[in-house]
Amino acid sequence: MRKTSSSIRQAGVTLVEAAAVLGIASVMVGVAVPALGDLRDTRLLEAATAQLRTDIHHARSTAVAMGQTVRLHVHDEPAGSCYVVHTGMAGDCSCQPSGTTLCTASAQPLRSVGHAQASGIAIRSNAGSLAFDAFQGTVTPTGSLTVAHVRGDRLRVVVNVMGRARTCRAAGTLHGHPAC
C-alpha cells in the first residue's frame, strides 16, 4: 500500500508559529524588566534601612558594654550621605559619602557607612548626633532618620528615648511597612 502526500503527517514548528512565540516572549520580558528594576531599588532601600537599625542597636549595646557614651552622627551633602558610630563628643568624628571617617585623637570610630549619590540612597536626620548613654542605653536627643531613594520611596527609623528603633513608611508605595 502506497501513501499519498496528503496522508503524511508533518512534525515540527512552522516559521509563523516560531515568530508568534518569540513575539509573545519579547512582550513578557519587556513588561518584566522594569518591574525587576523597581524590586532591586526597593530591596536596596530596605537593606540600607535594616543596616541603619542594626547600627543603632549596636551603638546602644556598645555604649552599655564599654561604659561610655557612644554617638551616631549623620552627615548629608550633595555628593551623598553617611553616618558614623563613634565614641567621644558630638563634633569629634565626621564621615564622607565615600566611607572615609575622620576623628580627633580622643574619639574612636566604631562603624561608618557611606552612600554616594550614585547609589540612589540618602540618609537624613532631624538630629545631628544621637548620644547613647553608657549606663541605661537611653538616647539624647530622640530622633528620626530618613532613608530615601531617588525614586521617591522613603523609610523612617524612629529612635525613642529608650534607644529602641522602629521603622515606618514615610513616603512611597512600599508594602510591609506601617505608615508613619
User: How many C-beta neighbours within 10 Å does residue 108 have?
Assistant: 16
Answer for the pair 165, 53: CB distance below 8 angstroms, yes or no. yes
Q: Which residues pair with 144 in a beta bridge?
A: 158
Answer for the pair 148, 122: CB distance below 8 angstroms, yes or no. yes
pLDDT at res. 7: 62
pLDDT at res. 6: 59
Dihedrals phi, psi of 41, to nearest 5 degrees: -65, -40
Give the span between the Cα atoms of 91 and 84, in whole angstroms.
11
Nearest to 175 by CA among 47, 50, 42, 52: 42
Give the span between the Cα atoms of 173 and 52, in whole angstroms.
21
pLDDT at res. 15: 83
Dihedrals phi, psi of 37, to nearest 5 degrees: -65, -40
Nearest to 64 by CA among 113, 139, 141, 134: 134
pLDDT in tens, the chain (180 residues): 555 555 667 677 788 888 888 888 888 777 766 767 778 888 999 999 999 999 999 999 999 999 999 999 999 988 999 999 999 998 899 999 988 899 988 899 999 999 999 899 999 999 889 999 999 999 999 999 999 998 889 999 999 999 999 999 998 878 888 888
DSSP state of 6: G
DSSP, collapsed to helix, strand or coil, labels residue 30 as helix
What are the cell numbers at 103? Answer: 576623628
Global pTM reads 0.80
